[in-house]
Chain A
Amino acid sequence: MPKRSFFPAFLVLIVLSGLFIVLSKTGILSVPADLITKIVSPLQRATFNLSSGGNKESKLSLENKALISKLTQMQKLLAENSALRDQFETSVPKSQNLLPASIVSAPSFVPGVTPAEYLTIDKGSSDGVKIGSAVVFKDNLVGKVTQVSNSLSKVILVSNSSSTFPAKTISIKGERGIGALGVVSGLSGQDLILDKVLLSDTLQVGDYVVTKGDLQVDNTGYPPSLIVGKIISVEKKASELFQRAKVKSLLEFSKLTTVFVVLGYE
């Protein structure tokens, strides 16, 4: 068999790939990319729905989440009332501008068994989604948009190890006021860590963790008082500077089929 040289094919295709990278960065390829996405994403969504096995949230679970959401809102209102009476601070309850989005894919190591690494949703820059937009589900924080195309967006979950954001605790045991301040980092699955909490603050198992809020001028970032999860264990050592707590998200990300992108705050 005559010896073939593969170098010309290799060279031509490397140069072409480099050209595509440059064109992609300038945004010229967004229209054909969008077309391919629109053709394939219904199939992706169908495959994702099949692989998640129709594992939807039960009615009881949804009602539970709604009740927890009302409890945290009640605590927030109590704190605001107290602040108004004491004339320390005022705040105006704000409503969010939400865009519903279907989950197209949620790849995981073992589909349906291990937690998803990220989500892909069927809304993109043409719908107003920006990099950094928060993604929620019934007042529960899901994650943040990290990549956007014309019609799709990639959402990093709060449980992803690269996710970190400031948060605070709220006690549902009848104590008023905002509890401890800290930084939440993702672990894996539904688990997160609330770290950098002062030893003088009180962390209790059963307290809820909500976002502190880091909204930017362009409405990206996390709005305040979104439910992150519930404290399931506390680690406090007098010899360390900070205490930490393990937090479990109230959401089972693999069971979500629809989420909401926060487009703005009014």
Chain B
Amino acid sequence: MREKILEQKKSVWVFILIIALSIFFETSVTTLPLIVGTFVLFAVILQRDWVFVAAFLSGLIFDILTLRTIGTTSIFLIVLIFTIFLYKNKFEIETIPFVFIACFFASFIFLITAGFSNLLLPAFIVSIFASVLFRLLSAPLRGKIR
């Protein structure tokens, strides 16, 4: 039992680290919507309500660092995760095609709201990135956190 709790804590730290890196790189180095891809990925893998809280806090920090109105990215991410959870009741969401399509459309809409002109290629690249990460992380993280 104690070992299981320790494994869960390690997995949560992996989750936090990936989120932090996504925010950091997207606010300083690249315009790829990494934060969107990361939260689509973890909403699909973890399916826990604290993903909402993480999305809320991450969105606040992201807005502060990109000088947007604080709260707008949080609302976007929360609605995105809620939509994914709604789909959970209808479809099998823990599949690479679902992750790819959800990430693509979410990134596309996010880039439109952010005012970027280059939409398709960044959304496609982030979707590939999320799909690859899903393939690598889904089994290890799901077993430890759920």
Let me know if A24 and B28 touch, CB within 8 A.
no
User: Complex Cα distance A51/B27, Å?
Assistant: 13
Cα separation A36 to B57 with both chains bound (whole Å): 13
Interface residue count on the B side (C-beta < 8 Å): 41
CB nearest neighbor in A for B146: A1
Q: Closest residue to A29 on the B side, CB-wise?
A: B70
CA distance A25 to B70 in the complex (A): 8
Q: Give Cα A235 to B48, complex, Å.
A: 59
Task: Check B30 against A107 for contact (C-beta < 8 Å).
Answer: yes
Contact, CB under 8 Å: A25 / B74: no
Of the stretches A42-50, A172-180, A203-211, A240-248, the one at the interface is: A42-50
Closest CB of chain A to B41's CB: distance in Å?
17
The CA of A1 and the CA of B145, in the complex, are separated in Å by 14
**Would you call A265 an interface residue if the criterion is a C-beta within 8 Å of the partner chain's C-beta atoms?**
no
A66 CA to B32 CA in the complex, in Å?
36
Interface residues of A in 6-33 (CB under 8 A from B): 6, 9-10, 13-14, 16-21, 23-25, 29, 33
Q: Count the A-B residue pairs with Cβ separation under 8 angstroms: how many?
A: 111
> Given A43-B24, A109-B121, A117-B116, A13–B31 Cβ distance below 8 Å?
no
Interface 1/0 per residue, A117-155 and B, CB below 8 Å: 100100000000000000000000000000111001110
A40 partner residues in chain B, CB cutoff 8 A: 24, 27, 65
Tell yes or no: B72 within 8 A of A by CB.
yes
Interface positions, chain A 32-88, Cβ under 8 Å from B, are 33, 36-37, 40, 43-44, 47-48, 51
The reply to whether A24 and B52 contact each other, CB–CB distance below 8 Å, is no
A111 to B25, CA, bound (A): 10
Q: How far is the CA of A104 from the CA of B146 in the complex (A)?
A: 40
Q: Determine if B78 and A104 form an interchain contact, defined as CB atoms under 8 angstroms apart.
A: no
Taken together as a complex, chains A and B put the C-alpha atoms of A53 and B55 apart, in Å, by 32
List chain A residues, Cβ under 8 A from B69: 21, 24-25
Bound CA span A222–B24, Å:
32
Establish whether residues A36 and B64, one from each chain, have CB atoms under 8 Å apart when the complex forms. yes
Q: Given A10-B82, A13-B78, A109-B122, are A33 and B70 also a contact pair (CB < 8 Å)?
A: yes
Q: Which of B53, B61, B69, B116 has the most CB of A within 10 A?
A: B69
Nearest CB of chain A from residue B127's CB, rounded to whole Å: 15
Cβ-defined contact, A161 with B117, below 8 A? yes
Q: Chain A residues near B63: list those with CB within 8 A.
A: 24
Are B27 and A14 in touch, CB under 8 angstroms?
no
Cβ-closest chain B residue relative to A7: B82
Q: Contact at B78–A10, with CB atoms within 8 Å?
A: yes
Q: In the complex, are the beta carbons of A33 and B64 less than 8 A apart?
A: yes
Given contacts A6-B85, A48-B29, contact A13 B52 (CB under 8 A): yes
Complex contact B70–A105 (CB within 8 A): no
Would A18 and B75 count as touching, CB distance under 8 A? yes
Say if the beta carbon of B26 comes within 8 Å of chain A. Answer: yes
Seed contacts A17-B56, A109-B31, A149-B67; 10 additional CB < 8 Å A-B pairs = A13-B78, A17-B72, A17-B78, A24-B71, A29-B70, A33-B64, A48-B29, A51-B28, A108-B31, A147-B68
